[in-house]
Amino acid sequence: MSEKNLSREQQDTGEERSVNRRDILLSGTAMALTSMAGTGASAQAQQPQTAPSVSPASGQRPNILVIFGDDIGQTNISAYSFGVMGYLTPNIDRIAREGMMFTDYYAEQSCTAGRSTFITGQCTLRTGLSKVGMPGATVGLQARDATLAELLKPLGYATGQFGKNHLGDRDEYLPTAHGFDEFFGNLYHLNAEEDPENHFYPQDPEFRKRFGPRGVLKTSVDGRIEDTGPLTKKRMETIDDETSAAAIDFMQRQARANKPFFCWFNSTRMHFRTHVRPEHRDKPGLTSRTEYADGMIEHDAHIGQLLKAVDDLGIAGNTIVLYTTDNGPHQNSWPDAGTTPFRSEKNTNWEGAFRVPCMIRWPGRIRPGSVSTELISGLDWVPTLMAAAGDPDIKDKLLRGHQAGTKTFKVHLDGYNQLPYLTGQQDRSARKEFVYFDDDGDLVALRYENWKIVFDEQRAQGTMRIWAEPFTRLRVPKVFNLRSDPYERADITSNTYYDWFMSDAAGVFLAAPTVVGQFLATFKEYPPSQRAASFSIDQLVEKMQRSFDAPAQ
């Protein structure tokens, strides 16, 4: 793609500052040099600097704009891949260039899980939100689980959520029941939304009422719920136009009122199936000729519109902008699929399911152009953003019991406050470990510093079998050093993997039960709020068996 074509794309989004290949390559070179250093420390940590003040300028709390893509891999973002996919993402890259990007950032293995851990700061075993939410499902975000929105409200924040929610089908699970002042968006993944248009979808009205998807909803904190109509295949072409416009309108209203805001925008791009309007397909200058590439360019343009709105409002200097996604790519729908350099894909135990693009910008607080190879998780944003808003002690408060508005919460946050690291006050991430859960809520792996121990592995090599086949419990765990083998290939390609395992790695997996045991011990005082859902028949049979075993009343 030429710089001329790139500039035309930027003009489409209203972005004035040019972004060219040199900017991307310079940022990428910094990432490569940091990775080769092999210390696990970030590029920021390697450069001496004066730690900026955490307290916002003029006593104002920072605005918070969080942007989620969907099923997007690191390779799909040109800040990570230098345009190897045949297109560039200049607006997303801008956030990286003006802030910090992460190489070792962990979301979750699928949609609902990645969104729930971000908004609650709790792992999926605690919330039960590990399985992909479906129309008619009874599992959803529980009232006892505090959300970032609920915690920010007492600090004076206006809160709005726009786009895909995927945290429950019922009214009590809607964002406006969990701290958001307003919500406009859809409740499920795109292929579930378009099911009613399929030829063989049941026509029975009762079936559609019980199991069909709800429409795109507009809700408010006073309980009003407006169904704006179904998310049809045709509407999917432009739904992100609708929701991003609503997000911009929300930010404009709060800026005029001089009120700090938390805006969470969740695009439907790039979950499959991708439906791009005809005029945005096959744009000139692309070497990638897929509808997925067209969708990524459209997604990047929406990010550009959000950033332009922040610029135009004159609030960029006091606005935190975070870009990430919910999980790794879903690849059995290729070529309508994301791309990751890591092993396997969404809904597995492998890095390809969990490690995703992430970048954050906060002018004057986070060093521009910095690249972190430290371990960071989506779980960390609740305590981190609360600290940025002025409450660095929220984790301890919630452990003891904390009142936010009319609710009192007593929960165990699994996230760490990363603000001292992000702002250069500390050299290392506060996180040393990450626990991997599958979509059934089972603990399948552990990362501790550079080491990963796999207890259960998904052996299916792609296709829908990844969702259908069970995980295999290993009698002896597999061990990977994610610095020397970040793509987890040694057990497949190396003749000497088990020699290395016995000489260098055996002690690592022997220590793993201690780390896992310490983590699981916290569930005694802070138990799960519900059991994870299941696509299998096991839970139904178990429930029926319990009813048989119950004594007659």
Instruction: Tell me the per-residue pLDDT of 15-67, one tens digit each, with 9 for 90 and over.
Output: 333 333 334 333 333 333 333 333 333 433 333 333 333 444 456 999 999 99
Q: Is residue 366 part of a domain?
A: yes
Opening angle at CA 168, ends 297 and 322, nearest 5:
40
Q: Does residue 255 share a domain with residue 307?
A: yes
For 499, the domain range is 444-540
Of the residues 375, 407, 432, the one at which a domain ends: 432
Q: Does residue 456 share a domain with residue 326?
A: no
Report the number of secondary-structure helices (H) and strands (E) in the chain: 21, 18
273: cis peptide before it, omega within 30°? yes
Q: Does residue 517 share a domain with residue 387?
A: no
Q: Does residue 267 share a domain with residue 176?
A: yes
Q: Is residue 425 part of a domain?
A: yes
d(CA 330, CA 315): 36
Q: Does residue 231 share a domain with residue 114?
A: yes
- Per-block average pLDDT, block size 10, for the chain (553 residues)? 34 37 37 34 37 49 98 97 95 99 98 97 96 82 98 99 94 97 93 86 88 93 96 95 99 98 97 90 73 94 99 98 97 92 96 98 98 99 99 98 96 99 98 97 97 97 92 96 98 96 89 93 95 65 60 53
Q: Does residue 254 share a domain with residue 115?
A: yes
d(CA 337, CA 335): 5
Domain count, the chain: 2
Q: Is residue 13 part of a domain?
A: no
Given a contact cutoff of 8 angstroms between Cβ atoms, the answer to whether 398 and 410 are in contact is yes
Q: Is residue 281 part of a domain?
A: yes
Amino acid code (one letter) for 368: P
Q: Does residue 219 share a domain with residue 330?
A: yes
Distance of CA 163 to the CA centre of its chain: 14
Q: Does residue 325 share a domain with residue 250?
A: yes
Q: Does residue 395 share a domain with residue 531?
A: no
Residue 551 pLDDT? 58
d(CA 498, CA 486): 17
Q: Does residue 76 share a domain with residue 122?
A: yes
Q: Is residue 25 part of a domain?
A: no
Q: Does residue 351 share a domain with residue 320?
A: yes
Residue 7 pLDDT? 33
Beta-strand relationship, 217-220 and 433-437: unpaired
Q: Is residue 56 part of a domain?
A: no
Residue 33 pLDDT? 30
Show the beta-strand stretches assigned E in 228-377: 261-266, 319-325, 358-361, 370-372, 376-377
Q: Does residue 426 share a domain with residue 456?
A: no
Of the residues 374, 399, 432, the one at which a domain ends: 432
Q: In this predicted model, what pLDDT tens digit does every residue of 241-275 receive, in sequence order?
A: 999 999 999 999 999 999 999 999 999 999 989 99
Radius of gyration of the CA atoms of the chain, in A? 23
Q: Is residue 550 part of a domain?
A: no
Of the residues 411, 432, 453, the one at which a domain ends: 432
HSE (side-chain half, CA atoms, 13 Å) at 125: 17
Residue 71 pLDDT? 94
Q: Left, alpha or beta for 76 (phi > 0: left; psi -120 to 50: alpha)?
A: alpha
Residue 535 pLDDT? 57
Q: Is residue 41 part of a domain?
A: no
| CATH number of the domain where residue 279 is located | 3.40.720.10
In angstroms, the Cα distances linking 331 to 297, 339, 348, 461, 493 are 19, 8, 12, 11, 22
d(CA 45, CA 38): 13
